[in-house]
Chains A and B, each alone.
Chain A
Amino acid sequence: MEPDGDLGLVLRFNRTQRAVHWLHAGGFVLALLSGLALLVGAAEELIGHRFVLRVIHIGAGLTFALAPLLAARLGDWHSIRADFRAAQWWDAEDRRFFAITDDSGGSRAGRFNAGQKANLMFTAAATLFFLISGAIMWQYFRFDRALVQNAGMLHDTLTFTILVVWLGHLWYALVNPRTRHSMRGMLSGYVDRSWAASVHPRWLGQPNASSAAEMKIDRAAKQEGGL
């Protein structure tokens, strides 16, 4: 048991987790800017060099989608897998998180709250389909026109959707007073124990969160029969 109110620091994101996050984020911002320049006629008329933009964009997109995977493979793969598992499996508190009728002052989050879990799952799916639709647009001459057209529309739709989700993400990471301390965890790796105790109370109770999560998943998988 970890005593609450201890002012020490606690490790939240190890080096692999931070590398995965920042490679993904860096690739994202560059892909977003170059993608918008490709999309918005007025911007491109100013810049002019569509070919250069396209090369930058494809490079940034591949960084966004694949560099985090590579970093995870080369680093502590286990910790990344544990976080993805945690985001897939929701307990009763997580299910309560999005309930509008909840008047008990919110759910008690573990390492991630349900909003973070939903964000991770959305982002994983969006990344996969940015990659698929982008590859079709890149290699358009190998595919039917209908597929190329669908890929273009999906790529655009993903751009607008992820932009909204990203603005929300930035708000929690940079602005919202209760959660913005977490930015420190993503920069240095460490957060204040007292902050963790109040925002992620059920995380501190699990000194080795990943193995505890896996034990529970095994049990849940047996109860539910997989999906």
Chain B
Amino acid sequence: MTETPLLRPIGRRLFLGLSALGAGSLLFGHAVTGGDGEPGLLADLIGQNGFRIYTVAPIPTFDPATWRLALDGLVGRPLSLSYADLLAQPSVEQRGTFHCVTGWSVPNLVWQGVPLRALLDTVSPKPDAKAVVLYSSDGAYTDSLTLDQALTPDVLLAYNMNGQPLPLNQGLPVRLIVPEMYGYKSVKWVNRIELAPSAIDGYWEVRGYDRDAYLDKSGSRAPA
């Protein structure tokens, strides 16, 4: 060591450069990927049809012969539908993007199913019914909407996705779709819909998620 080597802050520049990349992608990433986002890296490897499969309990089995969907609680006329009954209801098709709170989205989905509003009309909610609680047949997952939210025309009980019955791990036979809210409101494997005096905290809301799941933080409804 005869001479003092000249030191340059190359490591520091590496740190700052990487930090600039990170901050840039946080602030402007959506400008590159488009407003609807994208399923993320390696989407097909880690998920299915662009979805990542999230479950909180073992996936329930489905037997079309014995499966029932119950509508009960504060209603004038409780209802219990078989799978065939559900498919026989007047149905609608709507296109939408599915957004998850962990940052992935699936654009251009075509859902087919029965508007929740139509089923609620047939059971005649009592005047003190102010909310709808949805139960999943996995025995663990629940969530709720206020009655006003549930009556929004595009809230759907969907049984087909892109022309096919839902895959088992995506809610077969029927899942809720709430286009204006994050995916955790869209309960999979729905088998009971209860009219209640007020909204409850669902599975994730008990665990820290927000009861208001609007994608648009102003809480206002985008035109359907």
Contacts and interface: CB of A to CB of B under 8 A. Distances in A.
B55 A50 contact: yes
Interface stretch (B9-17, B125-133, B143-151, B188-196): B9-17
A167 B14 CA distance: 20
Interface in B152-206: 169, 182, 203-204
Contacts, number: 173
A102 interface: no
Contact of A90 (B7, B40, B48, B100): B7
B215 A125 contact: no
Contacts of B6: 91-92, 220, 223
Contact of B18 (A117, A125, A152): A125
Interface string B21-61: 01001111110010101101110001110011111111100
B4 interface: yes
Interface stretch (A18-26, A60-68, A128-136, A189-197): A128-136
Interface residues of A, number: 62
A133 B48 CA distance: 24
B101 interface: yes
A140 B101 contact: yes
B103 A216 contact: no
Most B-side CB within 10 Å, residue of A42, A146, A158, A220:
A146
Interface in A184-227: 202, 205, 216-217, 219-220, 223-224, 227
A38 B209 CA distance: 17
A54 B208 CA distance: 11
Interface string A114-156: 0001101110111011001100110011001111111111111
Given A89-B7, A141-B209, A224-B8, A205 B1 contact: yes
A41 B46 contact: yes
A40 to B, nearest CB: 5
A154 B48 contact: no
A160 B169 CA distance: 25
Contacts of A87: 11
A146 B212 CA distance: 17
A90 B14 CA distance: 11
B169 A41 contact: yes
Contact of A51 (B13, B58, B207): B207
Given A125-B15, A144-B217, A150-B25, A155 B103 contact: yes
26 contacts: A41-B47, A41-B51, A41-B52, A44-B53, A51-B207, A88-B10, A89-B8, A89-B10, A91-B7, A92-B5, A92-B6, A118-B14, A128-B22, A129-B18, A132-B26, A137-B101, A145-B99, A147-B27, A148-B101, A150-B28, A153-B41, A155-B103, A216-B5, A220-B8, A227-B12, A227-B13
Interface of B: 1, 4-15, 18-19, 22, 25-30, 33, 35, 37-38, 40-42, 46-48, 51-59, 99-105, 169, 182, 203-204, 207, 209-210, 212-213, 215-217
